[in-house]
């Protein structure tokens, strides 16, 4: 059986506010770069620009939910997206 496709995504947290219950940052993967805003109080994720957004949005949300208490402003993180792009 062959290996599954994978792309490494790099995430940087730019700001975090527990009062507003939001986290802002940027993520890069496969030559794409996006900016995101996650309202963890409401569970809403906004990813811009729209170019390639479908490639990262679901994996990014899963990563944010799984690691939300470990993320800090200025922190750099990596996660794997089970797709090649």
Residue 7 inside a domain? The answer is no
Per-residue tokens: 41: 């109080």
**pLDDT at residue 84 in the model:** 83
Q: What does the pLDDT look like over 50-65, one tens digit per residue? A: 999 999 999 999 999 9
Average pLDDT, integer, range 11-31? 95
Residue 44 inside a domain? The answer is yes
| Distance in angstroms (rounded) separating the CA atoms of residues 4 and 34 | 24
Residue 6 inside a domain? The answer is no
Residue 46 inside a domain? The answer is yes
Per-residue tokens: 66: 């799984």
Per-residue tokens: 22: 């939001």
Domain that holds residue 72: 13-79
Residue 8 inside a domain? The answer is no
3-state secondary structure of 80: strand
Report residue 83's pLDDT band, with 50, 70 and 90 as the boundaries. confident
Q: Phi/psi of residue 48, each to 5°?
A: -135, 150
**pLDDT at residue 26 in the model:** 98
> In this prediction, what percent of the chain has a pLDDT beyond 90?
81
How many domains is the chain built from? 1
Show Cβ contacts of residue 64 under 8 Å, excluding neighbours closer than 6 positions: 23, 38, 40, 45, 71
Average pLDDT, integer, range 1-7? 82
């Amino acid at each position: 059986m062959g290996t599954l496709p994978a792309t490494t995504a790099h995430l940087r947290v730019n700001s975090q506010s527990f009062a507003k219950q939001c986290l802002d940052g940027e993520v890069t993967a496969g030559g794409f770069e996006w900016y995101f805003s996650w309202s963890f109080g409401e569970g809403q994720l906004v990813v811009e620009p729209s170019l390639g957004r479908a490639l990262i949005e679901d994996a990014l949300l899963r990563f944010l939910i799984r690691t939300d208490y470990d993320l800090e402003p200025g922190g750099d993180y990596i996660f794997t997206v089970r797709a090649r792009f």
